[in-house]
Amino acid sequence: MASIRKYRDKWRAEVQRHGIRASHVADTKREAQTWALAKEAELDRLKGSGGKTLGDAVADYVKTVSQTKSKPEWEEKRFQAFIDYIGEKAPLSSITSADIGRWRDFRLQTVTGATVQREANLLRNLFTVAMDEWRWIDSHPFRGVRMPEQIEARRQVWGWRQIKRVLRSGREKKMGEVVKAFHIALHTGMRLAEVLTGTYDPKRRVYVLARTKTGGYVEVPIPRRALKLFPVTFTVGPNEASVLFAKLRRQLLLDDLTFHDTRATALTLLARRVDVMTLARISRHKDLSMLLNVYYRETAEQISARL
């Protein structure tokens, strides 16, 4: 039970909960009572979470969840940025929807709404695991927080003139490897990291991926017209390759296109040659709406020309 008493011309509230003492001086008795109730609730939540902090939650999540994914370092960087904003020692149970809203507004000052959405999805899952699996918190701080509206999906595809400019570039060894990966991606719809880390099986004409963005072992079929690109050996890593390709795009003034657009380009072209179920098998999409709305980018004019 909180103690509320007169203190000079103000009111002093004193709280003792679970061995923790706290006090606060307010202008009115009502303000002191309000503070005491909020403080008791906060200490109760802290007791329920076992005193776990944001740093504790991130450390456990990285160890048990992030390390099972293909790009754990991306998640670790996003978590570190969130820790820098909130504070590593912040009690997990003390983080509220107001804190998340302020974080959202802070990030929107420097990045796009799509980036905030991606980061929010990661952080939301952290708190979901902490609440549902670990039982460290009783409420979800993301509940009721508005996130930026979903932006319209990209519609860019690589045209033949742009492709030729890239293929004629990059004679230096590592840049040449990146251009080779670009060429393979245009035929197969694979991601950059998948091309660089996979293994070609010439007997079965498939590219073996031991680990992918969305799962484990996968075999990607290789079209006949792409066989001339194999066998191939890559020495450049995914991160360095991304940097090199970004540099090449700037040199060629192709800033409106990305390496990942090769995936949409390949799937759009393959859609003319195979049925939708085969296309989904090639792209490894379990949700056909994702394949249709995000990666199939043929325009109405192009479809009309084929009818």
- DSSP readout, 203-229? TTTEEEESS-SS-S-EEEE--GGGGGG
For residue 266, which of 296, 231, 300, 299 has the smallest C-alpha distance? 296
Q: What is the pLDDT of residue 47?
A: 62
Quote the pLDDT of residue 46.
63
Residue 12 dihedral angles phi and psi, to the nearest 5°: -115, 130
pLDDT of 50: 63
Per-residue pLDDT at 30: 92
Query: Which residues of the chain are modeled with pLDDT < 70?
Result: 1, 18-19, 45-50, 70, 150-151, 212-215
User: Which residues in 185-214 are b (16+ Cβ under 10 Å) and which e?
Assistant: bbbbbbbbbbbbbbebeeeeebbebeebee
- Burial tier of 245 (Cβ tally within 10 Å: 0-12, 13-18, 19+): buried
pLDDT value, residue 58 = 95
Closest CA to 240 of 172, 175, 185: 175
Q: What is the CA radius of gyration of the chain?
A: 27
Q: Does residue 206 come out as left (phi exceeding 0), alpha (psi in the -120 to 50 range) or beta?
A: beta
Looking at residue 183, what is its pLDDT? 97
pLDDT of residue 65: 92
Q: What is the pLDDT of residue 72?
A: 84
Q: Which residue has the tokens 């103690």?
A: 3
pLDDT tens track for 230-289: 999 999 999 899 999 999 999 999 988 999 999 999 999 999 999 999 999 999 888 888
pTM for this prediction: 0.65
Residue 232: both structure tokens together: 């191939």
Question: Given this model, what pLDDT does residue 82 score?
Answer: 96
Note the pLDDT of residue 142. 95
Q: What is the pLDDT of residue 112?
A: 84
Please report, for residues 76, 82, 169, 261, the alpha-carbon distance to residue 72 in angstroms, rounded to integers and kept in the order given. Answer: 6, 16, 32, 23
Q: What is the pLDDT at residue 221?
A: 94
Sign of the torsion formed by the C-alpha atoms of 178, 264, 247 and 107: negative
Average pLDDT, the chain: 89
Q: So what's the pLDDT on residue 178? A: 96
CA distance 135 to 143: 17
Give the pair of three-digit tokens for residue 56: 């504790």
- Residue 275 makes CB contacts below 8 A (sequence gap 6+) with none
The two structure tokens encoding residue 14: 């004193």
Give dist(CA 43, CA 35) in Å, integer.
12
